[in-house]
A and B are shown apart, each in its own frame.
Chain A
Amino acid sequence: MAVTRRDLLSMTLAAAATLSTPGARAESAFRTPWRNWSGALHATPASRVAPASTAELQRFLRAGRSPLRPVGAGHSFSPLVPTQGDLLVLDRLQGLGDVDATTLQAQVRAGTRLSQLGPLLDDVGQACWNMPDIDRQTLAGALSTATHGTGDFRSLSGYVTALRLVTVEGELLELDAEAEADVDLFHAAAVSLGTLGIITEATLANTRPLRLKSRSVFEPLETVLAEFEARVRNHRHFEFFPLPYCDFVSSLTIDETDAPIHNPAPTPEEDAAMTDLLRTLLATPIMARRVVFNRIVESLEPSEAVDRSYGILCNIRNQRFNEMEYSVPAAAGMACVRELMDTISERRIDVTFPLEVRYIAGDECWLSMMHGGPRVSISVHEFADRDHRPYFDAVEPVFWKYGGRPHWGKVHSLGHEQLTELYPRFEDFRALRARLDPRGRLLNDHLRTVFGA
């Protein structure tokens, strides 16, 4: 569905006229369009529903309106959210519930932004073990897609010890990771794409607040490929950003420190510098990019920062983009990176946006990309105002070759048959989903493809 900026302006002006009806709520006169963060996905939900409590959510679900989809921050690049039915927003369910200072666990409401979570936990003497690169997502959105950071840590879902889930029929389920009766449903619900019900709270196992030091440096791709495993083992966090048509990567190493906090916000010019460089390189002929890029990055100095853990682990990504990410078995990670870089070069793919390579520990969640063992996640990106499909279409088969599992919130083209082969408990999940939502109220077109429903 292509909606141009001119169309939107016309719709807006039309809306302004209709909104003059006394007492009319916006959605009754004009369906406010929904778009995801990158702008690539569109929908016109029939209504937006934002319950202020679990009881309100239960009443809404029991009313039986259909279909509906929950939305977090709209940060997913795969069409998990688009619906012509009701858009269910959990932003009014924010903050901490019960906190256990002894076991270092905290109950967090589903609509809490990850950017709020760090300070909230810090106030009660706790911190997440790890956090993802971007922190604008809601907790429920992040859990539902197995969102992760980098290092020998599990995804966020891997630190959940209890979940409150409201089924589509309005029944509240309290799931405990330690309760034998709950174990299957718990491991299914902890990464469930918003298809088993609506998560309202999750209890997270945390650590004590800690201070981290990051060091960012450009270094040869071959060095990092050879040392990746050792660096993951020897540092609290390690990741790197391969640059298309460049023999260097940007690597990021993070460790604990007692050093004083020093993490100055970049100036607007610094903030825009990388984007400006990548845009400039796009205007450079592909054949010339390696020479130009190598010369620029060779001369750059390392940068360091010290901050509370959440101030180091998370970054603000102002430049909007679309993203594909697959997680391959850890042992195959560097071979996959090498073949991706070769594919970009050999096919002369017109891209300058860096890739991102991370390590994640295994977990037991049925639909976690890391189910069964550690994985290396590899992301490819393209500016939101450029067509990402030719690039993503070219590299996706490389991920398949290495047994990659797609990130649920990022662009992929897999359906039920391929996913069944990738996830040992996929059929179990399908059966559970069909039992909890037999009418498919929580499905949209994309999810029907994913689950063969």
Chain B
Amino acid sequence: MRQLGLGMMLVSLLAACDEPAPVASPALPTVAGIPDRDPDAPDADGRTTLSLWARSCALCHVDGTGGAPRFANQEDWAERRAQGEAVLLAHTLAGHRNMPPLGYCMDCTAEDFVRLIRFMVPEASP
């Protein structure tokens, strides 16, 4: 429903949130045993991490739809990165908040998802 009026009313009812404090950016703990691969390197079936991302994750992770952390955005990923790949993978498989299970990638395996997570999460800022 395009009820911006209702939205504004609810916004006014909600307590104002403080600006988020800067968050430290620890490195992403990795899921052992899944080697890195270039995002544009094809797998045995000719699929690349980039192509999987473009037709699934990008539906929400470009604009931040539904609160999705935006691609390579330090602020969006800082706290999530600290949780580690295993937790992010579990969230991806089961769905988390507004993100549907499997993130619209029906042919992705757990290994694919780990690589997609690595592709989207930026390097830790110094």
Contacts and interface: CB of A to CB of B under 8 A. Distances in A.
Contacts, number: 178
B102 interface: yes
Contacts of B66: 271, 316, 318
> Which of B32, B65, B110 has the largest count of A CB atoms less than 10 A from its CB?
B110
Interface string A311-345: 00001101110000000000000000000000000
Contact of B7 (A8, A20, A266): A266
A8 B111 contact: no
B93 interface: yes
Given A25-B111, A27-B109, A8 B34 contact: no
A183 interface: no
Contacts of B106: 34, 48, 71-74, 87, 89, 91
A: contact size bracket = 35 or more
B44 to A, nearest CB: 7
Interface string A1-29: 00101001101110111111100011100
A13 B89 CA distance: 9
B1 A250 contact: yes
A274 B1 contact: yes
B51 to A, nearest CB: 8
Contacts of A21: 33
A39 B101 contact: yes
B111 A273 contact: no
B102 A35 contact: yes
Contact of A74 (B9, B55, B101): B101
Contact of B2 (A50, A74, A301, A305): A305
Nearest to A264: B4
Interface in B87-126: 87, 89-90, 93-95, 98, 100-102, 104-114
A183 to B, nearest CB: 32
Contact of A276 (B1, B10, B90, B101): B10
B94 A270 contact: no
A439 B4 CA distance: 53
B6 A33 contact: no
> Which of B33, B107, B111 has the largest count of A CB atoms less than 10 A from its CB?
B107
A20 B112 contact: no
A252 B2 contact: yes
Contacts of B4: 266, 270, 303
Interface string B37-74: 00000001111000000011001000101110000000
A66 interface: no
Nearest to B34: A19
B71 to A, nearest CB: 17
A50 B45 contact: yes
B24 interface: no
Interface string B1-37: 1111111111100100000000000000001111000
A296 B12 CA distance: 13
Contacts of B67: 268, 271, 318
Contacts of B107: 48-50, 87, 89, 91-92
A35 B93 CA distance: 8
B20 to A, nearest CB: 13
Nearest to B4: A303
Contacts of A8: 90, 93-94
A13 B29 CA distance: 13
B86 A20 contact: no
A264 to B, nearest CB: 9
19 contacts: A12-B86, A15-B110, A16-B33, A16-B114, A34-B101, A35-B95, A74-B106, A113-B55, A216-B3, A265-B63, A271-B7, A271-B66, A274-B6, A296-B6, A303-B4, A315-B1, A318-B65, A318-B98, A320-B100
Interface of A: 3, 5, 8-9, 11-13, 15-21, 25-27, 30, 32-39, 48-50, 52, 71-74, 87, 89, 91-92, 94, 113, 115, 136, 214, 216, 218, 241, 250, 252, 265-271, 273-274, 276-277, 296-297, 299-303, 305, 315-316, 318-320, 354
Interface of B: 1-11, 14, 31-34, 44-47, 55-56, 59, 63, 65-67, 86-87, 89-90, 93-95, 98, 100-102, 104-114
6 nearest CB pairs, A to B: A20-B33, A270-B7, A26-B109, A35-B101, A318-B66, A273-B10
